[in-house]
Chains A and B, each alone.
Chain A
């Protein structure tokens, strides 16, 4: 089967291992933040912030988003923005009802 060459460069195994280690470290961190009574007040923001960092790691290291062109990046932005606006507009009802 003939196929065009991939524009995503071959990645060292070690770089995946690094990402994996970082993800596990962040997992421990997010549990710690939620369980430490000191930080409990920030648990929602903190957890979602850490989750977003983790998602970013998966996107950049495992899914190679950085090597995709502007088209895919722009599309991702569009999809996330669409979801954000749907939730925001729904809250314009729920919060002020």
Chain B
């Protein structure tokens, strides 16, 4: 019989030592939903202000560096690929490949943050950052666009950083062998988190770089 997370008819006895595999997955998905609503608050602000200042948001998006944005999207999509491979590898018992892929994912995450840093630095050196005199002299729509840009990419960046730290911890567990082909739900859940952060970026990218 396929073990399904909704096999409610077969209710497992609750033993000491926490919840079963399906429960751990449910817990992680629930956490991702809280993250969805957390970012949702930002997307709400974005959509309201975009509806109020379409022209300024249009102009703002053209100020963004599309090349760097596209590279960063590629980096993050690829990192989702590598973390998926890391999980597939550990399930086949290929610890070396899994650790290699996890390390690669962390590197991609750091790479993403470095590119982001250069993007921010370029803006700040131009005098564009929240509450800067240059920005305050612009129109209200521009102030909102660039404030949203900094806040949303910034909070997304923090999530990338948290994800990279989490994967580093998983890397140590894999190295020590507590994550192995029979016990990998922690790595799987970390992967889910990483993919979620990727999905957020999939929406952030067109909203700030493309929509014209």
Residues of A that sit less than 8 Å from B by CB: 1-8, 10-11, 13, 16-17, 19-20, 23-24, 27, 30-31, 34, 40, 43-44, 47-48, 50-51, 54-55, 58-59, 61-63, 68-72, 75-76, 78-80, 82-83, 86-87, 90-91, 94-95
Contact B81 A48 (CB under 8 A): no
Q: Which residue of B lies closest to A68 (CB)?
A: B5
- A59 lies within 8 A of B199 (CB): yes
* Interface pair B36/A58, CB less than 8 Å apart: no
Q: Is the interface of B mostly helix, strand, loop or mixed?
A: helix
B131 within 8 A of A: no
For the complex, what is the distance from the CA of A54 to the CA of B188, rounded to whole Å? 20
With contacts A7-B2, A68-B5 known, is A83 near B74, CB below 8 A? no
Identify B191's interface contact among A7, A50, A62, A70, CB under 8 A.
Answer: A62
Interface segment out of the listed B84-92, B107-115, B133-141 = B84-92
Q: Please, which residues of chain B bring their CB within 8 A of the CB of A82? A: 37
Kindly identify, within residues 1 to 51 of chain B, every residue whose CB is under 8 Å from any CB belonging to chain A. 2-7, 20-22, 25-26, 29-30, 33, 36-37, 40, 43-44, 47-48, 51
Chain B residue at minimal CB-CB distance from A8: B188
Are A87 and B40 closer than 8 Å at their CB atoms?
Answer: yes
Task: List 22 contacting pairs A-B, 8 Å CB cutoff, sorted by A.
Answer: A3-B185, A4-B21, A5-B21, A10-B91, A11-B88, A17-B81, A19-B84, A20-B81, A24-B74, A27-B73, A43-B211, A43-B212, A51-B202, A59-B199, A62-B195, A68-B29, A75-B29, A86-B44, A87-B40, A90-B48, A91-B48, A94-B51
Task: Report, nearest first, the 6 A-B pairs whose CB atoms are least far apart.
Answer: A69-B6, A47-B206, A69-B5, A79-B33, A34-B210, A20-B81
B85, B192, B196, B210: which contacts A47 (Cβ < 8 A)?
B210
* A residues near B29, Cβ cutoff 8 Å: 68, 72, 75-76
A86 to chain B, nearest CB (A): 7
B78 contacts partner chain A, Cβ-Cβ < 8 Å: yes
- Contact A30 to B80, CB < 8 A, known contacts A1-B178, A3-B182, A75-B30: no
Residues of A with C-beta under 8 A to B78: 20
Q: Which residue, of B4, B84, B88, has the highest number of chain A Cβ atoms within 10 A? A: B84
B81 and A75 form a contact (CB under 8 A): no
Other A-B pairs, 18, CB within 8 Å; known A2-B182, A27-B74, A34-B212: A1-B182, A4-B3, A10-B91, A16-B88, A20-B78, A31-B210, A44-B211, A47-B207, A55-B202, A62-B84, A62-B195, A68-B29, A69-B5, A69-B22, A79-B36, A83-B37, A94-B48, A94-B51
Is there an interface contact between A83 and B40, defined as CB atoms closer than 8 Å? yes
Which residues of A lie under 8 Å from residue B37 when comparing CB positions?
79, 82-83
B183 adjacent to chain A (CB < 8 Å) = yes
